[in-house]
Amino acid sequence: MIKSYLTIIIIACASLNNFFIAKNYLSVSQTTNEQKNWTVMLYYCADTRTHGVGPYPNNSGAYNWLNSIMFDCISFLPGLITGGSLDDINIIVLYDEPYSASYPNGHAKILKIGYSNPPLELEDWGAENLGLYVTLSNFINYCKNHFPANHYALSLTDHGRAYSGYCYDYHGQHPYWNYTLGDCLTVRELRTALTYAGRVNVLFLDTCLGASFEVAWELTDFVDYLVAGESTQRKTALVHGVDVVRRLSQNTAMSPFELAQIGVTTAQSVILNPPSIPNDQFYDWPTVSLIAPYRFNLTPVAASFKDLFSGFTDELIVELDNNFTRARELFGQIRGELSGNGFTSSSMLIDLYEFLEAIEAHSANFTNPQVVTKAGSVKNYLEVSPTSLLHDFYIRPDLTSNLANLHGFSICFPDSRDLYQGYLWPNMYEDIAIAQDTQWDDFIFRLFPPEADPFLWPIPEFWEVNLYPIDPLVSCHVFLEHEELIRHVGLATGDFGLSEVELGIEGAGYLADLVGGRAMIRIPHNSLSLMKTNNEIAQKFTIVINGSHAGTVNHPVNLSVRHVVDNSIVWEQSQVKSLESGQDLACEVSTTEEMSELKPVGEPSTTTPPTTTPITTTSPTNSTNLDPLISDFFGPSFIVFSTTGIFSLLIIIILYNKKKK
């Protein structure tokens, strides 16, 4: 009797245990098969390059502040979700952790957000390149297959570079550079990923420089609404997706347009304040655009907007054909009048609307009146309107004056040949749809023919500093002391936290051919002469090569300085030195055509990276593996121009001068 009783108990316990296993499995299965109103996909590329990665070659530790913010977002999100809302929405995250001892090339996981921590780990993808379209496509397909919904929203969270790409995976293989720069999702790859994975209703580019005319053009057939900032952004752009999800959980019945509007509202008034960004003075986005890419194919007048813009570019070519020399001077003048506020100078962006306004302002100077007529037609359709491409555009109130040049869309219009053709990778612009559908890229190339001066404004006499071959994270600077002020030419940290070109000497120019590994600074001789004091025979300037964030431990650099008069080199001197990671080199050049020896300033950084703690997750009982797509295209890396700031470079000059004395 006792034996039978025990047998029954054992059988019952075994059956009960099987029930719990089956119940857990079924709960996951039911969740993944039940169609809800929304599935929100957060694409967190936390294994990314940051400005301060130099001391930590593996891109780990506290220097990776982007990872810290994304980690906080995952941790905070469960506490922000309205109770009961997960019956109508799915929140799925692809989170790529940076370096750890166990995963030296990063560690990607798919997480499902619930009402409490830790999140449920659905998939362990190991070392994945989030800068590859295959990864993005697989993630979207995974979400659509396992978490079907009436509507889909996607947030790409990381760095952004307008038409140059998004989500820069530090451990992805860069196709041209041998340095550890990583890979990114190019604009073409965004389209390719969505070609395989299908349409998303709302795309949030929670990055810098997302409101790109080229990007909106590319995604015409794949995205209903695009929410992005035209300018560089603050760190709080990284928490935008979490804020959107919080608002969606309060009203899960939102339509795609309503959610896109919420994306604008939350960008205008950021309420989240993660501890990882306590020093961000202004939390709201500088700018945000609500774009309807599908309207590119609609008919504003007698043709689609794409046809309208294409016709405008045709007229630009006609203007160049009428009188190239005169037209090049005119477009050079117009380009010089356009403001770069809100952009990084190295990004070669202008505001499209401001360019069209400038054409109208110079209407009397064009030989082809159709340029002006069609510029006006294009401009009218870029106005904020429920029936135009741009549903809404916002500038933060305290920046209204500073960013008055921005109207919602950026577009590529470089001011030099080298900077355009050598930026990131060869022929990058020809890969995107706007270059194939219009003559905009032909217009740009025609402005910078090989035989022309690389600058739109030639200088009769100048001093030219060339640095090559270089890791793109090595920066070149010129400093000139005049009347107790330090004037600087080179890259410097701008108002929005990213690096911008500073031209502190009148008439100076800066170029960077990144694929060729060359940086150039050009200083007019007349500007140097004007800065001499009465008792000075010659003017001197200091050249600093900043290797604070170099991706290689030991790197040879070739510094060449020229004195050029009427396109003839009258003096030139070169030096080759070895630059160690974390090191700065400096020398002095005189207008008497003398250059001192290039010498190290300070010691290379040897900081040991701290250990990092991976996010804790729970695991489901079932797991599936996706078949990877075959990739025949690799995108470029995000080139972050990084400096230690003007203040630290001034210290370098002071130390250098003290050593000389």
Question: Using CA atoms, how far apart are residues 568 and 566, in angstroms rounded to an integer?
Answer: 6
Question: Using CA atoms, how far apart are residues 369 and 239, in angstroms rounded to an integer?
Answer: 47
Orientation of helix 369-380 relative to helix 305-322, angle to 10°: 160
Q: What amino acid occupies position 90?
A: N
Question: Using CA atoms, how far apart are residues 60 and 130, in angstroms rounded to an integer?
Answer: 17
- State residue 152 phi and psi, 5-degree precision: -130, 135
Q: Quick one: pLDDT at residue 430? A: 86
Residue in this structure with the two tokens 């405008």, named with its chain if needed: 312
Token reading at 475: 């920066």
Distance of CA 191 to the CA centre of its chain: 17
Q: What is the reported pTM?
A: 0.77
Q: Quick one: pLDDT at residue 510? A: 82
Token reading at 129: 């390149």
Q: In 3D, which of 40, 103, 107 has the Cα closest to residue 73? A: 40
Contact in structure between 45 and 130 (CB atoms under 8 Å): yes
**CATH architecture of structural domain 35-297:** 3-Layer(aba) Sandwich (3.40)
Query: Is residue 351 packed enough to be buried (19+ CB in 10 Å), middle (13-18) or exposed (0-12)?
Result: buried
Q: What are the sequence ranges of the domains in the chain? A: 1-33, 35-297, 305-379+412-447, 461-609+643-660
Q: Torsion over CA of 158, 160, 163 and 169, rounded to 10 degrees?
A: -50
Question: Using CA atoms, how far apart are residues 272 and 75, in angstroms rounded to an integer?
Answer: 13
- CA quadruple 569, 575, 581, 586: dihedral sign: negative
Q: What amino acid occupies position 525?
A: H
Distance of CA 205 to the CA centre of its chain: 10
With residues binned 3-state (H G I as helix, E B as strand, rest as coil), the percentages for the chain, rounded to 5, are 35, 25, 40
Token reading at 148: 């079907």
If the chain, 661 residues long, is cut into consecutive pieces of 10 residues, what is the mean pLDDT of each piece?
31 28 31 83 90 53 78 92 96 93 90 95 96 96 97 96 89 67 87 97 96 97 97 88 95 98 91 56 81 88 86 97 94 90 80 98 98 96 93 94 96 76 67 95 85 68 87 82 81 48 81 70 86 71 84 78 93 91 88 93 47 52 32 23 38 42 39
SS3 33: helix
Q: Quick one: pLDDT at residue 505? A: 86
Token reading at 395: 């500038």
From residue 631, give the alpha-carbon distance in Å to each of 48, 128, 172, 196.
21, 14, 14, 12
The residues, ordered by sequence, that sit 6+ positions from 431 with a Cβ below 8 Å of its Cβ are: 186, 187, 188
Which stretches does DSSP call E strand in 312-460? 349-351, 390-395, 410-412
Greatest distance between any 2 Cα atoms in the chain: 116
Contact in structure between 304 and 267 (CB atoms under 8 Å): no
Q: Quick one: pLDDT at residue 354? A: 98
SS3 480: strand
